Amino acid sequence: MVRIIALIIMLIPGALAALGIKLMRDMLFGILQPPIPYLWLQFFVGLLFFVCGLGFIAGFVLHRDRKRNKVQKRFDKKS
């Protein structure tokens, strides 16, 4: 059950990052999505979604690897 919850927690930021990539791609092709009034704003919203989603996934993986002592010394937490 814990693994299913962890999978769901990881899917939400992954979907957010994918939506961010889609919004940035649509801006490059000039396709304006309905709730966003400007193309430049659509790009920055997509960039924000992508960075937040990717950052969450990267932080989750780093936290898990720190708990299992599988990181290099420069990524160890200083106590």
DSSP secondary structure letters along 18-58: HHHHHHHHHHHTT---TT---HHHHHHHHHHHHHHHHHHHH
Query: What does the angle CA 46 – CA 50 – CA 59 come to, to the nearest 5 degrees?
Result: 155
Whether 74 shows a pLDDT value over 90: the answer reads no
Identify the three-state secondary structure at position 79. Answer: coil
- Count of alpha carbons within 13 angstroms of residue 13, beta-carbon side: 16
Indicate the pLDDT class of residue 79, thresholds 50, 70 and 90: low
Whether 41 shows a pLDDT value over 70: the answer reads yes
Q: Which pTM value belongs to this model?
A: 0.85
Mean pLDDT throughout 17-31? 97
Interatomic CA distance for residues 42 and 57, integer angstroms: 23
Whether 39 shows a pLDDT value over 70: the answer reads yes
Digit-coded pLDDT (tens) for 1-21: 989 998 998 999 999 999 999
